[in-house]
Amino acid sequence: MSFHDKIWFQDSPLKWLFWPFSFIFGLIVRLRRFLYARKILSSYRSRIPVVVVGNIMVGGNGKTPVVIALAEELSARGFRTGVVSRGYGAHPPMLPYEVTPDSPAAEAGDEPLLIKLKTGVRMVTDPRRSRAVQYLENDLDVILTDDGLQHYALERDIEIAVIDGKRRFGNGHLLPMGPLREPVSRLGKVNYILNNGGAMPGEYPVRLVPGRVCRLNGDPADLPAGTEVCALSGIGDPERFIRTLKETGLCPARRIAVPDHGFVPADEARRVAGDLPVVMTEKDMVKYGRKDLPGFYCLGIRAEIAPEFYDRLVSDIRHIQKERGIS
């Protein structure tokens, strides 16, 4: 467990060392919201419905599987759906950048590339999400933004907050004293709260269901239950991947430490793993070029959300379309 995790999720008294910085951060957060709310800072309103999927806490909350599930469900219900993202850590040759199935992960970013591969919908990255929305909006019915709850330069019609039901909000303090980007009270202003792992009243439960183990090129693989493996997970909450491996019957005997969005070369991963199979997340898989590397596997997950959530979301989107005269 990292130093920050001990402070944020074990409520160490060391957190008070960061109180002055957290106080200043809170002032900045409130001032920024005030300036956008009073139209002192400008924001872009799209002609089509924009649905923001984000969170108020740093680290992994299961947001990407939720975005994938939403894009698939809205597409299945007849909406021409697109996704925009900041493209964290990516180095695209131009902006906006439209992700294709053949895009290198270094250009597209790991999460945008994974979303494109899993859903097939149009996927565009740009640190200025409003510019990405303008690039897409004339060809689509609805746009999802992957993260961006705090990106107020883009107006949104529907806000969906994803929270981790096990970690909740840590010690409940703002960065860097705690793990929060905005106060917990911010959730009172969103349209939906999706809870990954233990929903409370007013929250829709999300269940992350593991898929089957595959080779990095997508071919099915057979790792029998009880197999000892080396876990590789460059995600915000690596402990969640360890739990998922155990749910499938695999035994994570070793781990490869990777920062969120990070990358470990295959030869380095093999050195740490020894003779154990290396099993990684799909988010990590895309960084290896989806090539069949002997001894390397990935385990995907999908987000299951209650049908009544989708029914209500679709109703809200259609209502917005009607208000704007969009057929």
What is the domain-level CATH number for residue 67?
3.40.50
Number of domains in the chain: 2
For residues 116 and 94, membership in a common domain is answered with yes
For residues 153 and 34, membership in a common domain is answered with yes
Task: Give the type of residue at 7.
Answer: I
Q: Strand, coil or helix: what is 177?
A: coil
For residues 151 and 56, membership in a common domain is answered with yes
Which pLDDT tens digits describe the chain residue by residue (327 residues)? Answer: 566 777 888 878 888 999 999 999 999 999 999 999 999 999 999 999 999 999 999 877 889 999 999 999 999 999 999 999 999 889 999 999 999 999 999 999 999 999 999 999 999 999 999 999 999 999 999 999 998 899 999 999 999 999 988 888 989 999 999 999 999 999 999 999 999 887 788 899 999 999 889 999 989 998 999 999 999 988 877 888 999 999 999 999 999 988 877 888 999 999 999 999 999 999 999 999 888 899 999 999 999 999 999 999 999 999 999 999 986
For residues 191 and 295, membership in a common domain is answered with no
pTM (predicted TM-score): 0.93
- Reduce the secondary structure of 182-251 to three states and give it as a string: CCHHHHHHCCEEEEECCCCCCCEEEEEEEEEEEECCCCECCCCCCCEEEEECCCCCHHHHHHHHHHCCCE
For residues 155 and 275, membership in a common domain is answered with no
Nearest by Cα to 105 from 96, 114, 118 = 114
For residues 155 and 65, membership in a common domain is answered with yes
For residues 313 and 281, membership in a common domain is answered with no
Q: How far apart are the first and last CA of the chain?
A: 51
Q: Are 82 and 143 in contact (CB under 8 A)?
A: yes
Cα distances (Å, whole numbers) of residue 310 to 13, 26, 49, 192, 268? 42, 34, 15, 11, 43
Q: Strand, coil or helix: what is 59?
A: coil
State the residue range of the domain holding 61: 3-206+305-323
Q: Are 204 and 309 in contact (CB under 8 A)?
A: yes
Tell me which residue has tokens 């990405």: 132
For residues 290 and 157, membership in a common domain is answered with no
User: What's the pLDDT at 237?
Assistant: 78
Question: Going by C-beta distance under 8 Å and a sequence separation of 6 or more, which residues neighbour residue 40?
Answer: none
User: What's the pLDDT at 270?
Assistant: 94
Cα distances (Å, whole numbers) of residue 244 to 83, 300, 318? 27, 10, 36
User: What's the pLDDT at 1?
Assistant: 54
CA quadruple 293, 297, 301, 302: dihedral sign: positive
For residues 48 and 149, membership in a common domain is answered with yes
For residues 47 and 87, membership in a common domain is answered with yes
For residues 276 and 194, membership in a common domain is answered with no
Question: Going by C-beta distance under 8 Å and a sequence separation of 6 or more, which residues neighbour residue 207?
Answer: 303, 304, 305
User: What's the pLDDT at 299?
Assistant: 95
For residues 221 and 93, membership in a common domain is answered with no
